[in-house]
Amino acid sequence: QVQLVESGGGLVQAGGSLRLSCAASGRTFRTYSMGWFRQAPGKEREFVATFRWSTGGTYYADSVKGRFTISRDNAKNTVYLQMNSLKPEDTAVYYCAVRNVYRVYDFIDEAEAGSWGQGTQVTVSS
């Protein structure tokens, strides 16, 4: 029911920054949580960061704590992922996802996603 459009990926040198955007449209009233996941070549998709739309609560994977920040813009129905101090290991396709059911625990399991964006490529060179 929710459509997601991602943007902001690209090529950056190690230590650089990028900001990813995910614009949501459609039945956003059932968007309880939004999250970012990533999939590196040859690896499974993994959790990066999550955001509770109603409370603003956030949670991050250990690998990105202190470097990545997830935020929202209510007026634009958009969630962002600010990525600083990028490392080559951050190279992956980054996906935005929505959990459209309520859960007490944070949205870290990709199996709980109701909608996905198409993904945006982030490449970090050495």
What confidence score (pLDDT) does residue 55 get?
87
Local structure of residue 43 (DSSP, 8 states): S
In angstroms, the Cα distances linking 125 to 14, 35, 60 are: 6, 25, 23
Kindly compute the dihedral angle of the four CA atoms of residues 95, 118, 33, 7, in this order, to the nearest 10 degrees: 70
Hey, how many other C-beta atoms are within 10 angstroms of the C-beta on 93? 18
> Which is nearest to 22 in space by CA: 38, 35, 40?
35
What confidence score (pLDDT) does residue 53 get?
82
CB-CB contact of 60 with 46 (8 Å): no
| Residues of the chain with confidence (pLDDT) below 70 | none
What confidence score (pLDDT) does residue 37 get?
98
CB-CB contact of 56 with 73 (8 Å): no
What confidence score (pLDDT) does residue 39 get?
98
